Amino acid sequence: MGRTFRIYLAGESVFLCRQCGNHLAVGESVLSKAFTGQHGRAILIQHAVNVYTGEAEEREMRTGKHVVRDVFCQVCHSVLGWKYDLAYEPEQKYKEGKFILERELITEKMENKRDLQSDRPRIDEVPVRELMARV
């Protein structure tokens, strides 16, 4: 598949994989914090990075039938939540292409003010190979 990139995020807060600390999403990408996952509270987010998805499958949910895919951490391969491919109910269509991350499986890191004021780019792409060479 060629080179693998990991994206490092900077925002008011960043969501990380609880297992390995991999960056997943910025606080600004949260659409709703009122979702429920298999492990309790969950968040709906616009976009997640450094993850991959499993096979599409149809699931009956509290809000109707959806086609979803499990979402896995690209680094430690833990399940983090799921992605909505398709919603059958018209009022659920807004969830298509969005991600659910389970609170139990992630942590939220608040950035301090100094970081916010620095002129670092908000999204920084670093090839994994380059990172490994530095260690």
Closer residue to Zn ion, CB minimum distance, 42 or 87: 42
Closer residue to Zn ion, CB minimum distance, 21 or 97: 21
Q: Is 75 in the site for Zn ion (CB under 5 A)?
A: yes
Q: Is 17 in the site for Zn ion (CB under 5 A)?
A: yes
Tokens (6 digits) for 58: 């149809």
Rounded CA Rg of the chain = 16
First to last CA, the chain: 23
Total residues at the site for Zn ion (CB under 5 A)? 7
Closer residue to Zn ion, CB minimum distance, 80 or 87: 80
Decide: helix, strand or coil at residue 93: helix
Closer residue to Zn ion, CB minimum distance, 44 or 73: 73
Contact code string over 29-68 relative to Zn ion, x by CB under 5 A: ----------------------------------------
Query: For residue 127, what are the β-bridge partners?
Result: 5
Look up tokens 């080179």; give the residue. 3
Q: Pick the closest to residue 55 from 40, 66, 70 (CA basis).
A: 70
Q: Is 19 in the site for Zn ion (CB under 5 A)?
A: yes
What gap in Å lies between CA 97 and CA 52, rounded to an integer? Answer: 13
Which residue in 22, 26, 45, 84 binds Zn ion (CB under 5 A)? 22
Point out which residues bind Zn ion (CB under 5 A).
17, 19-20, 22, 73, 75-76
